[in-house]
Copies of this chain bind each other. A is one copy, B any other.
Amino acid sequence: MATLGHVKILILGGDGFCGWPTAMHLADAGHDVMIIDNLVRREWDAELGSGSLTPIATIEERLDAWHEIGGREIRLALGDLLDWEFFSAAVAAYRPEAMVHYAEQSSAPYSMMDREHAVSTQYNNVIGTLNVLFAIREFVPECHLVKLGTMGEYGTPNIDIEEGFIDIEHNGRRDRLPFPKMPGSFYHLTKVHDSHNIHFASRIWGLRATDLNQGVVYGCVTPQTSRDPRLVNRFDYDGVFGTALNRFCVQAAIGHPLSVYGKGGQTRGFLDIRDTVRCVELATVNPPAQGEYRVFNQFTEHFSVRELAEMVVHAAKTLGIEATIEHQPNPRIELEQHYYNPKHTALLDLGLEPHKLSESLLDSLVNVAIENRDRVDESVIDPRVEWTKTHNPVSAAGVVAS
């Protein structure tokens, strides 16, 4: 496997939480970068009455700022993957060597709000990815698809989780097969569906693809986002798009108890946003062979929710904040005590040097929350979607309407 020096990269969803810092990181690393985004993530903020804790600029302002400070050109095409005329024309014109695909609805609670949101999530993600596969096949068959999956595809089986495939011995015979999947939301299910569709395209058409089963990303700062206020990345803390660690930091900053749902034994893989962008780069510059579908588990450490909360309590203390932990009912259906031992050596073997969730990083995360304390909307923090309900009306005012 030869490491590539310079790659022409199309980033689908390049205005999002992972996409935007990835675009700047890859441009800084000397690659040609073009973004496609339909800006729908910003519309979901409006729909839910929530928004980034950090003030974020428009995509146009972001790109202006990036080019003003001398960043290597990032091109932009505004449009939707589901619009085949638009998308296929963009791919045919740009002819990328790699396509990094972040352009999916990425919130489990959003997908569990009601039937409409479950359907729109599965439609957007599954059909969007089908269009990606057909665009690669038709216009750039050697293009490497770098697809963001999720560690949540696996669920929490009682055996070690391998990277995508497992050697099974059964009744005296052996085969290496896709690792069984037990995802926990209609969103997580879409990533399982995508994985099966992409694997098939690699077998039938000889496409090359890397499925990055990513853990929960924390932090929002990279060397590039710090260069100008207009380059700042989004930081979600609300009950729909926010994740536990961000919520805990905000709760500490505004003097609320840290809300742990259920027993807090739920254990997940985590990684720093700076490792997300590096993992994507490592996958991109080390492409698989034509016809190869490989899966990397993309996280660096795993913690239980209870452990995370305790770490934030400790970090807050060093900043003079006395935070407490409060257990609340779990809105999700999930095991709260379980075995969890997922492998994650493939990206380390390619050279990943992980940022660990140390005290110092937690300090800086709590500091982001403290600096933006005045922007916190307390009404959006609590869970607004229960897994057992099929009607979770979430009003734009940020409270459950019924």
Contacts and interface: CB of A to CB of B under 8 A. Distances in A.
B115 A122 contact: no
A126 B193 contact: yes
5 contacts: A119-B130, A122-B197, A159-B168, A183-B196, A193-B196
Given A189-B200, A203-B333, A390-B138, A168 B168 contact: yes
A127 to B, nearest CB: 6
Given A173-B159, A387-B204, A168 B180 contact: yes
Contacts of A177: 157, 159, 180, 182
B182 A178 contact: yes
A17 interface: no
A192 interface: yes
Contacts of A160: 170-171, 173
A373 interface: no
Interface of A: 84, 115, 118-119, 122-123, 126-127, 130-131, 134, 137-138, 157-160, 166, 168-171, 173-175, 177-186, 189, 192-193, 196-197, 199-200, 203-205, 333, 339, 387-388, 390
A42 to B, nearest CB: 25
A193 B387 CA distance: 20
A180 B178 contact: yes
Contact of A122 (B126, B170, B186): B126
Contacts of A180: 166, 168, 177-180
A145 to B, nearest CB: 15
Contacts of A205: 388, 390
A181 B178 contact: yes
A174 B158 contact: yes
Contacts of A159: 168-171, 173-175, 177
A75 to B, nearest CB: 25
A115 to B, nearest CB: 4
A20 to B, nearest CB: 29
Given A134-B390, A159-B168, 14 more contacts: A119-B130, A122-B127, A123-B127, A126-B126, A158-B173, A159-B169, A159-B170, A178-B181, A182-B199, A186-B197, A186-B200, A192-B196, A193-B193, A204-B388
Contacts of A131: 115, 119
Nearest to A185: B200
Contacts of A171: 159-160
A118 B137 CA distance: 14
Contacts of A175: 157-159
Contact of A130 (B115, B158, B183): B115
A-B pairs, top 5 by smallest CB distance, nearest first, are A177-B180, A158-B175, A159-B170, A115-B134, A193-B193
A137 B178 contact: no
A166 B166 CA distance: 13
Nearest to A173: B159
A192 B173 CA distance: 24
A393 B197 CA distance: 22
Contacts of A169: 159
A173 B339 contact: yes
